[in-house]
Every structure is written in structure tokens, then in C-alpha cells.
Amino acid sequence: MSHRVLVASCLAIALVAGACFPGYTVTQRLDGDPVSISGRFGGEFRDGAECAWIEDTSGKRTQLLWFEEGLVLFDPVRFVDPTGSVIARAGDVVTVTGPSGGIGETSCAAPGEKVFSVDVIAGPGGTFVFPTFPPLEP
């Protein structure tokens, strides 16, 4: 079980309350089989949000979504684990793994850009697995 439980819960809450996380609109439940995608890591701090992405060889960006702040540092851009170890720097090729379900939009994604919910990120500096959430109580 991963943050998919949280996102599924957010979907239910979002239908009632309008949103769960500032800047995110969840439009599809994340319960698909895990998939991995690769690209060059990048990011920027925009409008109070930590925006991170991977870019494919054609220049198309896929925005990366996780529910833990402080892992993307800026000036220079890098992804660090909670101990401060650098997993990837801007321009490094990374592979992210997550569910194949979709997210609607984020404040970071430009129109037409994909958004990918990340469970695992692997880069030149190692691999970081995002913490899993316990099952929700009935």
C-alpha cells in the first residue's frame, strides 16, 4: 500500500470539500499496475509550489507528484532524501515508478503536460522509496 490510499481518500474528500492539497486537482483514482518512466530531472519553485518534472528526449515534460515537501531543493535544483543525500540533480536521468492511474492537473503542469504520481525515484545518487501510508480505518 502506498500514497495511493491517501490519493483515493483525497478524491472522496475533494468531491465534498473541493480539494485536499493546495494546487492539486485529483480526477482519477490511482490504483493501476506500477509503471516506470525515465527522463532528465528538472524543477523550479513556482507560486509557492515545489515543481519537479522529468523531460523526455523530445522535450515533453511529465510533472512529478508526491505528497512530501522539502525533497526538491533549488539553486541548484536537486532531489534529496530526508538525510540530505542527493539522489538526482537537474539534468540527471532518473527513473520514477508509480501507479498507472492518472492525476488530473497540478499548479505546476502546463496545459497538455502529463502528471505522474511517484512511489519510487531512482537517480545517479541512489533510490528513494516514498513512505507508505497505513490502511484507512473503516
Structural domain spans, the chain: 4-129
Whole-number average pLDDT of the chain: 78
pTM of this structure? 0.74
- For residues 87-113, average pLDDT: 87
What's the 3-state SS for the chain? CCCHHHHHHHHHHHHHHCCCCCCEECCCCCCCCEEEEEEEEEEEEECCEEEEEEECCCCCEEEEECCCCCCEECCCCEEECCCCCEEEECCCEEEEEEECCCCCEECCCCCCCEEEECCEEEECCEEEECCCCCCCCC
pLDDT at residue 88 is higher than 70 = yes
- The highest-level CATH class for domain 4-129 is mainly beta
For residue 133, the model assigns a pLDDT of 63
